Amino acid sequence: MPNKGRIQVPKRSKGQRVYSNPRILESSNPKVVAIIPARYNSTRLPGKPLLDILGKPMIQHVWEKTKAVGKVNKVIVATDNEKIYNAVERFGGEAIMTSKSHITGTDRIAEVVKSLSSGIDIIVNIQGDEPTIEPDMVDQVISVLSNDSRASIGTLCKMIEDVNEIMDPNIVKVVFDKEGFALYFSRLPIPFYRNGEKETKGNIHYKHLGIYSYRREALLSLSSTKPTPLEIAEKLEQLRAIENGMRIKVGLTVKDTIGVDTNEDLERVIKYMSNRGA
């Protein structure tokens, strides 16, 4: 029988760290709303939430995966475009129009949250351009946060197995303490091997996956603060949370997602999902 005071993580590889959560929240059934920010005017791939993947718009795939999560009470698409709004309504989803002026997805989500009931406990931010996300990843990021009262934000990471990803600035790396709280996120290789070679056993490089769970007050607080120096330098909004003293709990997964930023990415996703029968 599993230990109830411990987050269950995938079977670890040699050298991979496992940590427990000693402080469990009293409420075992928090009210959870998942919000999918979907912006139309992407610089590299305009209108990408509506791009066709196996007969459905990309945003529908993300919505359906999220809707399949039992812990999620409501799924909302937050958009700045009527075409996306109408597409979501056509497939039976719920969408809310938001300002076109938002710079980040967090700000777009915060606008929606302010209009909802204050009874919401957890908000999940799921990227609208990652149609390969799996329901159990959404489930896990909710548990990461709800199972530890010390955390303000939850997120996921996976062990990096391809050395090229360690050096790729488009792959965000994360380091965390022995209890799973993020110490830093960076586009550079962290940790850095000073002597140019591994000095520890096992792999200690982890890729950050861009899915988040927030406590309501943490999300609204974060969206009301100005960008911070580290955030501006790395172009990573989660560093604003760390610089403002928020604790981000990181869960380990063996799964990955494919973000769609280019036509090449779209082709990869279509091939991947076609092979899986999605």
Query: If you write DSSP's letter for every residue of 128-148 in order, what string do you get?
Result: TT-TT--HHHHHHHHHHHHT-
Examine the pLDDT at 197 and tell me if it is beyond 80: no
**Could you give the CA distance from residue 255 to residue 7 in angstroms, rounded to a whole number?**
16
pLDDT tens-digit profile of 213-231? 999 999 999 999 999 999 9
| pLDDT of the residue at 198 | 57
Tokens of residue 165, six digits? 């990803």
Nearest to 219 by CA among 116, 106, 73, 126: 106
Kind and range of the H or E run holding 273: helix 263-276
The pLDDT confidence band at residue 240, using thresholds 50, 70 and 90, is very high
Q: CB under 8 Å, gap of 24 or more: what pairs does 186-190 form?
A: 186/234, 186/236, 187/234, 187/235, 187/236
Predicted confidence at residue 25, as pLDDT, reads 44
Report in angstroms the alpha-carbon separations of 77 from 108, 141, 188, 210: 10, 19, 32, 17
Longest dimension (CA), the chain: 57
**Of 19, 9, 37, 3, the residue nearest 178 (C-alpha):** 19
Query: How far apart, in whole angstroms, are the C-alpha atoms of residue 167 and residue 137?
Result: 25
* pLDDT score of 203: 73
User: What local confidence, expressed as pLDDT, does residue 202 receive?
Assistant: 58
pLDDT tens sequence across 245-270: 999 999 999 999 999 989 999 999 99
Cβ contacts of residue 83 below 8 Å, gap of 6+? 40, 47, 50
Contact 211, 155 (CB under 8 A): yes
C-alpha to C-alpha distance for 48 and 38, rounded to whole angstroms: 9
Across 117-131, average pLDDT = 92
Strands 206-215 and 173-176, sheet pairing = antiparallel
Q: What is the pTM of this model?
A: 0.86
Amino acid 73: pLDDT:
95
3-state secondary structure of 74: strand
Would you state the pLDDT for residue 22?
39
Going by pLDDT thresholds of 50, 70 and 90, the confidence category of residue 88 is: very high
Binned at pLDDT 50, 70 and 90, residue 41 comes out as confident
pLDDT score for 59: 97
| Number of residues that make up the chain | 278
Task: Locate the DSSP E strands across 99-220.
Answer: 122-125, 153-159, 173-176, 182-186, 206-215
Asked whether residue 16 carries a pLDDT value surpassing 50, the answer given is no
Work out the mean pLDDT of the chain and round it to a whole number: 88
- Looking at residue 227, what is its pLDDT? 93
In CATH, 28-133 is 3.40.190.10 = no
Task: Give the pLDDT score at 42.
Answer: 81
Does residue 13 surpass a pLDDT of 50?
Answer: no
CB 205 within 8 A of CB 158: no
pLDDT above 90 (res 18): no
Does residue 10 register a pLDDT over 90? no
Task: Give the contacts of 201 (CB within 8 A, at least 6 positions apart).
Answer: 14, 15
